[in-house]
Structure 1
Amino acid sequence: MKEYIGRIYELLKRIGIILLFFSLSRLFFYLFNLSLFSDIGFFHILRIMVIGLRFDLSVIVYFNILMILMHIFPLGKVYYNKYYQRTISFLFISINTILISINLSDSVFYHFTQKRSTNDVLKFIFISNDALKLLPRFLLDYWYLVIFVIIIVYAFVKLNIKIGQRLAPEIKLTYKQISFRTLSMLVILGLCLLGARGGIQLRPLSMMHATTYGPTKEVPIILNTPFTLMTTFGHGGISDYSFFDESELRQYYNVVKQKSRPGNLNKRNVVIILLESFSKEYVGSLNNYKGYTPFLDSLIANSLAFTNAFSSGYRSMDAIPTTITSIPCLIDDPIITSVYGNNRYTSLADILKHESYETAFFHGGTNGTLGLDGFVKSLGFERYYGRTEYGNDNDYDNYWGIYDEPFLKFMIKKIGEMKEPFFAMEFTLSSHYPYSIPKKYENTFKEGPLRIHRVVSYTDNSLRKFFEEAKGEKWFRNTIFIISADHPAQSVIPGAKGNINDADNLPDNSLLKYYKNTSGRYAIPILIYQPGDSSLNGIYDDVFQQSDILPTVLDLLNYNGKYIAFGNSALDTTTVHAAFHYVNGLYQITYKDHCLLFNGVEPTALYLRNDIDHTSNLLEKEPAIALKLENILKAYLQEYSHRMRKNDLQIKTR
């Protein structure tokens, strides 16, 4: 009996060691991203770390169940067999080193994505070669993570030795001892079941449970990445939400669009340019400072500029479908790789193709990157131009594809071969990690507080050269240009000044803090430019999201057809103008001066947008506003879930 209790004690020591390393990796996550959690004090972080143990224990039990069984199975001398012991040691060291390494690595990724990694990261790794190409550069840039992983492996090995492997005692199992061991094993397995599901609540532990412990911004610290990967694996869809009957639903939000206006389609050309990783924070004219985008600033002065514009998400694979189809991503996986990837969507390319437009999609990346070439063709683009079609790898950046400047020049050439009217869409790539620029520009653009600032300036300059050359083309003055970031990127730490050339080139600290809350983190520049059309000049300060681009373009073209869109035209003053997001397991609506967070059942928080740290929850103080936003969001979710699940995203009579 004493011998078996000793084995259980060894198991508890091993689990305790794993919990300790999970806690240390959580502390590292917090410290590495301190700029995003600057208002969370030391004692509060201790509370969060204690709460996080519940999520740590769940994933530890799931991944270590074989090791646990090998400890508690009612064996005699077999337990002390050297191969049996080596197997336990191997499982203990290998599995948990991988788990902790994933947790540490995500401390870096979080700075780019603003969320714990989920199943979509695994899909990115396995459907694309880009992850393998970036790995050497990532290891070089974040060499200290490699050192930490080596230290962890060493620590696990040393601690495993210290736990000790005793010599096999003389064991003669009696009926009483076998009964005790069997009963103990069943009790421990019961406790493991309790730990794995996170308690005795009705539903097993999920990411959503973390939102019950405090503000949304604390959720990523409470969670751990192995847990978020595990709980989102194979769960790419959205729940079936039903809140209203059909007549009531349309009162709050209507996704079926049709305008009746005089006149025929205004067949102007349409060019959409998606800029990789262009945060609103980087644009000087939108933040009252110098900034890193002088050309974009000059274009904004002659365009319809959306000063409260938001991306659909934090991934390029969210922005592209949203911009083309007006459907945001409110699920863990990108729509392109999700269970809804083969749905039939209403697409701007398809609509315009039926109006005799020629259509083409441009992206300088290696063909097949993100599955873009196949996806955009399914949306109605007749041609796809990528790295293969460009045909000159002298301009290859060795990571993602062709540098922006030469590829934008190539785009002008190919547009010149298209018949008018045409719809062309470009997705740039140079301002993506690892931020490579051509050698001839290495001393041209200054470093800012962030490494991305220099390459943002390079892409901005590439855009300037594109417009300078395009001005000489016959199609230029008959073209509507829509320029939007695909998503934001890293944000500067408020008050930080590094050892850099342009350290003082920063927005106000209050803006920097705003760009880190659950609403402001999605802020991007969007503008519409029509050469020679003064009616499209000025500031649009209502909320505008990427999903609003499709209906706005169709309004500008005087399109009278019926279609489905989850966004609304900026020209329509009678409808709801809001942004919708999926934030760490919660749904969010940003509307006028407020943003509301909703867990699928009830609201969890209501904040003023100028509450930059989201510290004052107004749910009880402003119930009327909370109810209004809740109903709009519920209607939106109901339409989204029903139509995505039923593949009901096109007007059937079309």
Structure 2
Amino acid sequence: MNTTRFAFQARYFLFWLLFFVVTKLLFLLYQWSDTTSLPLSIIAQVFGYGLRLDASATAYVCLLPFALLTLGSLVGPAFPQERLVRGFSAVAGIVLSFLSVADLALYRAWGFRLDATPLQYLDTPGEMAASAASAPLLLLTALFVALLVVGWLLYKGLVGRLAPLPLHVGRGRAGLIGLLYMLLLIVPLRGGVQQIPINQSDVYFAPQLFANHAAVNVPWNVMNSLFLQNAGPNPYHFMPDTTAARLVAALYRPAATPLPTPTLLRTPRPNVLFIILESFTAKLVGSLGGEAGVTPTLDSLSRTGVRFSHIYAAGDRSQKGLVALLSGYPNQPTTSIIKYPRKTERLPQLVGTLRAAGYSSHYYYGGELAFANMKSYLVAGGYDALTERADFKPAEQNSKWGAHDHVLFQRILTDLERQRQPFFVTAFTLSSHEPFDVPMRPRFPGTKEASLFRNSVYYTDHVLGQFLHAARQQPWWNNTLVVLVADHGHPQPGNTPNYAPKKFHIPLVITGGALLPAAQGRTIDVIGSQTDVAATLLGQLGLSAAPYSFSRDLLRPAARSFAFYCFTDGFGLLTPQNMVLYDNVGRRVIHKTPGTTASQVQLGQAYEQVSFEDFLRK
């Protein structure tokens, strides 16, 4: 077709975008039995939500052709730019068509979209061939050829030939225009101009898992998983698997003479208000031995609720804390399971367990849930509703991250008047995240990071107190249990080393109108982790915590009291008697308390080995 020289790149981009839309349609048709279970509105949204990820994949594919066209404009007719672009397009079309068709069969067998998992089987081609033996190879081959034909027709009809440069346009100007096209690719490549680059969370929109899977762009998913590859073998293999499993199992063995789990609640099925406090470190909580006066609300609640004095974060990032708290699942040293939707879909979540017990649910966050792939994790969990940054008015988005915590708490307070009981409502604060720009007069002087951090923690604690004061006036309060816990600690104040236990020490307080008067003011001194919150809560609700295999009830004495956490490629293991910090890269102990034996080092290694092996197998 005839086209102007400078429309070529726009048409080329559109060609690949339409090609990915065609592959999405092919997927829905091939998985027809699943597709027919979806309402038409959801099917339409598969294309709508998936378009951003399709555009991102398109931008990646266009990078090299756009560079070739820019170079050709600068060099002149001697450079075979059109032939190179057409050759690249042919190769890319074959590769992307093959991936798309392979995904059709693998999804039916595996239940997740194609990623880097097949690379695990390259060294066992016999097993790989056996796995594919039942696939309808003739049909898949026909679909592969058909997709190539459709791609060729699209290219011929939409892209066409590259027109020569207009006589009045010099090479320099043409090269500049080509460079501008390349720079414009940044926007679709990132998925837009938002703060956080696009990821799978942006296409997870529906309660139907198949709809979310259908919206994913397969080539994008494959490349993303290649960069996030953690398929094995287990790099943290220190001992025979049977030895590691035996040592870890001993940590969860009940005490020799187990006592009955104490009941803290006045009712067996209270509402649960689960509040996750951004970066709340024990170093700023006076009731935990930290600085006085920074968290007066939390300190007061520690005196009137149930305080857990020795709780440690499982990791050092929000997304890691989220999985540890809501799924009772350990962290990984150099990655996070939340980056892998296929894996997180296999995790238990509190929201799912409570939904089966008749609870309604809602998740609140003032920022963007796409951050660190949190949204895909939460959607897979099955929350009835998600409220995030886009759901607040522009005037309410008064923080760099979104809506400040007083806005968040006011929204929750208003919504809870209509929330069906019993409810499980999760709220995640954000104002105490960098850059600590809270909307109140400074309580603590200074402009250094530690002072700004103190002020942000004080602000969140203050508005939390206002929220709970108003909540006590509500009819649902007397039947509500409130769980207050941090997502992780913080190096400030004091620039605590990233591996030190002090950085991971966090508050955990249980309060609310559903507490028995006899439970108020109680302190639990057992050493525990974020991963233990799930089993502890479920134990009070009389629900089974069996799916949460790495979680233990802190109110039910066990044979061993411990906390395990991960820092960047290392771990810490704390017991009442000892502490050991281990560096995986150097394969050495960073620090240990006097009296720590080699068996405790081995115990930490065993826990890391077993938990990471479980991550690999998810």
TM-score, normalised on structure 1?
Answer: 0.54
Structure 2 residue 560 is the aligned partner of structure 1 residue 576: yes
Contact 1:491 1:516 in 2 (8 A): no
Structure 2 residue 317 is the aligned partner of structure 1 residue 315: yes
Contact 2:248 2:603 in 1 (8 A): no
How far apart are the structure 2 equivalents of 1:255 and 1:639?
16
How far apart are the structure 1 equivalents of 2:608 and 2:292?
40
Structure 2 residue 562 is the aligned partner of structure 1 residue 594: no
Structure 2 residue 555 is the aligned partner of structure 1 residue 555: no
Structure 2 residue 503 is the aligned partner of structure 1 residue 521: yes
How far apart are the structure 1 equivalents of 2:446 and 2:380?
40
Structure 1 residue 248, shift from structure 2 partner: 3.1
SS at match of 1:370: helix
Structure 2 residue 342 is the aligned partner of structure 1 residue 358: no
How far apart are the structure 2 equivalents of 1:583 and 1:536?
34
Counterpart residue type for residue 382 of structure 1: D
Counterpart residue type for residue 396 of structure 1: Q
Equivalent residue, structure 2, for 1:10: none
Unaligned runs of 5+ residues in structure 1 are: 1-124, 134-231, 494-511, 609-617, 648-654
Structure 1 residue 341, shift from structure 2 partner: 4.4
- When residues 571 and 126 of structure 1 are mapped into structure 2, their CA distance, relative to the original with a 3 A threshold, is farther
Contact 1:272 1:424 in 2 (8 A): yes
- CA deviation map 1:486-518 (0-9, x unaligned): 11224234xxxxxxxxxxxxxxxxxx87x7762
Segment of structure 1 superposing worse, 464-473 or 299-308: 299-308
- When residues 634 and 424 of structure 1 are mapped into structure 2, their CA distance, relative to the original with a 3 A threshold, is same
How far apart are the structure 2 equivalents of 1:255 and 1:401?
44
The alignment of Structure 1 onto Structure 2 pairs a total of residues equal to 389
How far apart are the structure 2 equivalents of 1:397 and 1:602?
46
Structure 2 residue 433 is the aligned partner of structure 1 residue 432: yes
- CA deviation map 1:327-357 (0-9, x unaligned): 1212312221148644410111111111111
Contact 1:278 1:489 in 2 (8 A): yes
Equivalent residue, structure 2, for 1:640: 611
How far apart are the structure 1 equivalents of 2:421 and 2:466?
23
Equivalent residue, structure 2, for 1:248: 246
- When residues 297 and 128 of structure 1 are mapped into structure 2, their CA distance, relative to the original with a 3 A threshold, is farther
How far apart are the structure 1 equivalents of 2:421 and 2:555?
25
SS at match of 2:424: strand
Equivalent residue, structure 1, for 2:592: 607
How far apart are the structure 2 equivalents of 1:254 and 1:553?
17
Structure 1 residue 570, shift from structure 2 partner: 0.8
Counterpart residue type for residue 626 of structure 1: T
Equivalent residue, structure 2, for 1:464: 465
Equivalent residue, structure 1, for 2:201: none
- When residues 323 and 560 of structure 1 are mapped into structure 2, their CA distance, relative to the original with a 3 A threshold, is closer
Residue of structure 2 aligned with 1:335, choices 309, 328, 337: 337
Structure 2 residue 516 is the aligned partner of structure 1 residue 545: no
Equivalent residue, structure 2, for 1:205: none
How far apart are the structure 2 equivalents of 1:591 and 1:239?
29
Equivalent residue, structure 2, for 1:375: 377
Structure 2 residue 409 is the aligned partner of structure 1 residue 408: yes
Equivalent residue, structure 1, for 2:140: none
Counterpart residue type for residue 348 of structure 1: L
- When residues 544 and 342 of structure 1 are mapped into structure 2, their CA distance, relative to the original with a 3 A threshold, is closer
Q: Percent identity among equivalent residues?
A: 21
Unaligned runs of 5+ residues in structure 2 are: 1-188, 198-225
- CA deviation map 1:87-138 (0-9, x unaligned): xxxxxxxxxxxxxxxxxxxxxxxxxxxxxxxxxxxxxx968966579xxxxx
Residue of structure 2 aligned with 1:304, choices 306, 327, 347: 306
Structure 2 residue 550 is the aligned partner of structure 1 residue 566: yes
- CA deviation map 1:231-278 (0-9, x unaligned): x9645456534634288356424499x999999992111111111111
How far apart are the structure 1 equivalents of 2:261 and 2:486?
31
Contact 2:491 2:503 in 1 (8 A): no
Contact 2:259 2:557 in 1 (8 A): no
Aligned pairs for 1:141-540 within 5 A: 234-236=228-230, 239-240=233-234, 241=237, 243-245=240-242, 248-249=246-247, 251-254=249-252, 266-287=268-289, 289-338=291-340, 341-390=343-392, 392-438=393-439, 441-442=440-441, 449-493=450-494, 518-531=500-513, 532-533=515-516, 534-540=518-524
Structure 1 residue 584, shift from structure 2 partner: 3.6
TM-score, normalised on structure 2?
Answer: 0.57
**C-alpha RMSD of the superposition:** 3.5
- When residues 551 and 297 of structure 1 are mapped into structure 2, their CA distance, relative to the original with a 3 A threshold, is same
How far apart are the structure 2 equivalents of 1:408 and 1:469?
10
Counterpart residue type for residue 489 of structure 1: H
Contact 1:280 1:286 in 2 (8 A): yes
